[in-house]
Amino acid sequence: ETGVTQTPRHLVMGMTNKKSLKCEQHLGHNAMYWYKQSAKKPLELMFVYSLEERVENNSVPSRFSPECPNSSHLFLHLHTLQPEDSALYLCASSQVWGRANTGELFFGEGSRLTVL
């Protein structure tokens, strides 16, 4: 138990569906992240929210839409995905001190997405 909870753990969706991934952290952190891990590839950073503001967006297609309503919750809204978007989506949180990120990330278990 890392203090970061992701739901659902597994999701199968068609290319025309709209679904959302949810992440909740119980650690009192003020930064949250979405990472993507495709088969046999390193983790790729997608989005970062710090103090509820998006601070990084690593050229992610618009079919992925993040939302951070408060410092404890992070969503990834999915629509018109492609089969190549099938991957493990990982949420993480960390504490930001002043303007500096600590580098110590706490990850959830991930949501395994399959796009048919």
Partner 1 sequence: DAKTTQPPSMDCAEGRAANLPCNHSTISGNEYVYWYRQIHSQGPQYIIHGLKNNETNEMASLIITEDRKSSTLILPHATLRDTAVYYCIVRVGRDSGAGSYQLTFGKGTKLSVIP
CB 62 within 8 A of CB 78: no
Q: Number of H helices and number of E strands within the chain?
A: 0, 13
Quick one: 2 or 80, whose CB is closer to partner 1? Answer: 2
Site for partner 1 in 38-57 (CB under 8 A): 42-43, 45, 48, 50, 55-56
Site for partner 1 in 60-79 (CB under 8 A): none
Q: Which of 112, 114, 113, 110 is nearest to 23 (CA)?
A: 110
Any contact of residue 4 with partner 1 (CB under 8 A)?
A: yes
Site for partner 1 in 80-99 (CB under 8 A): 88, 90-92, 97-99
DSSP, collapsed to helix, strand or coil, labels residue 83 as helix
- Longest Cα–Cα distance of the chain, Å, equals 43
Binding residues (CB under 8 A) for partner 1: these are 2, 4, 31, 33, 42-43, 45, 48, 50, 55-56, 88, 90-92, 97-110, 112
